[in-house]
Amino acid sequence: MGVLSGLYPQRVFDHFEELTRIPRGSGNEKAVSDHLVSFAKEHDLFYVQDAANNVIIIKEASAGYETEEPLILQGHMDMVAVKDADCPLSLEHDALEIAVEGDTVYAKGTSLGGDDGIAVAYALAVLEDETLSHPRLEAVFTTDEEVGMNGAAAIDLSMLMGRRLLNIDSEEEGILTVGCAGGVRVHSVIPVNRKRQQGSLARIRIYGLLGGHSGAEIHKQRGNANVLMGRLLNGLSAKVPYALVSCTGGTKDNAIPIEAEAELIISPENRETVKSAVAEYERTYQKEYVNRDAGVRIELTIGENGGAQTEEKKYLSGDTATDSDYEALDEDSTKTVVRFLASVPDGVQAMSMDISGLVETSLNMGIVRLTGKGLETDHSIRSSVASAKDALREKLTALSALAGGTVSCHGDYPAWEYRKDSPLREQMIVQYREMFGKEPRVEVIHAGLECGLLSAKLPGLDCVSFGPDLTDIHTTSERMHIASVGRMYDYLRALIEKKK
């Protein structure tokens, strides 16, 4: 008996629970790709697995549907794998610990991977269902969607006959998505110099933020821990001199970071000034974010007797260092890093002038790391206007150059443009109305979907994205809503069975 036994639709939840036992963070998808191949072999279905671990599974039409237009079912197999700081699981090797609470499924201490495990579970349940009347079904499972849609960029779709595609990668029931922003990832490296310095070690930790998806939640203007840390460090530098030892925050470029930490070397006589300044920033942030991220907190610890602790010895360059010696950035590098973090744009940059309420352009500073290479940052840029996306990338490049750094870009994908004439969209609107007695919302979104890349490979492709309710995706608060999973699966079956 699985944790999800007894839930409807049972086979969907059976497949989803199997997926939670397979580590499948982006870049770690070989095992789940092989799982899909095993499924195809078990059910005697044609399949292709490519070098990027993408998988295509094809099931020929059932009796009476041979002349119907083929239908493509599409989703990605990877997930944003994040965990709480105190979670002991290895997201590269361990199964998730899932549980049911009320009408929701969640994972203890980690993200759940409903984005986009539910698409895989839906497709597998459909492919194995011998009671379902259907046209030729072409299931496309892609990899590395969450880190730049690399699988969709690499996949060969020339074998597909269908030109109707259901992308099951939306997270709100009742919404049909028909267009999305394009995006690109930008990695910046700012070189630094270190030298041995003495003083008290102050450790500042910003935490308690909600985070969220950098596309779906960016308009909510939640706090970005990396941005808040840059602002604090810059303000603190005007009050007391310090040397930066470490700075880290965020785990994924497309997840709004919920926590950041920095370590500074300060003079013992400045301890009280630092305490007062950090406390003032906590009050300021709590006031500013009271209606959007009220849980923000700042923790400050300053070591006794110069601040040295056993784990802090990793910053020392030699065995002869004293208890108050640290390898910290020199004065110029500290200023450069702090000013860069304080000046980098973040969040919503422009709203659409064509669609009310739609974010046009944004970016998210998802990862900050002070490493042996220097200050490394990772940004996710999104825009429905290609030139605006390019301009923001150029701005990051210019800011990095001013700081003496360089950038590299990857995962560039095009926007999925709204199609005025869409028979699939019209069919889905009618079917939704018939089943649920109300109109679905038809939207263009700021979050990225693979439909733009797939449309470029299949001219004339008619795409619509939908899915059940998933909340707080890309965070450890992620929830999958059970009743919604059932309703949207029934909707999917009806779309498949209904003849033109």
Question: Which residues are known to be catalytic?
Answer: 78, 145
DSSP secondary structure letter of residue 70: P
Residue 381: helix, strand or coil by DSSP? strand
Token pair of 73 as six digits = 């079912």
Is residue 130 within 8 Å of residue 137, measured between CB atoms? no
Other beta carbons within 10 Å of 434: 10
CA distances to 7, 206, 482, 492, 500 from 486, rounded to whole Å, are 9, 39, 7, 10, 24
Token pair of 1 as six digits = 């008996």
Long-range CB pairs of 58-62, under 8 A, 24+ apart, other chains included? 58/136, 58/137, 58/138, 58/139, 58/159, 59/127, 59/134, 59/136, 59/137, 59/139, 60/136, 61/134, 61/135, 61/136, 62/132, 62/133, 62/134
266 φ, ψ (degrees, to nearest 5): -125, 160
Is residue 142 within 8 Å of residue 136, measured between CB atoms? no
DSSP β-bridge partners for residue 212: 256
Q: Are strands 164-167 and 71-76 parallel, antiparallel or unpaired?
A: parallel
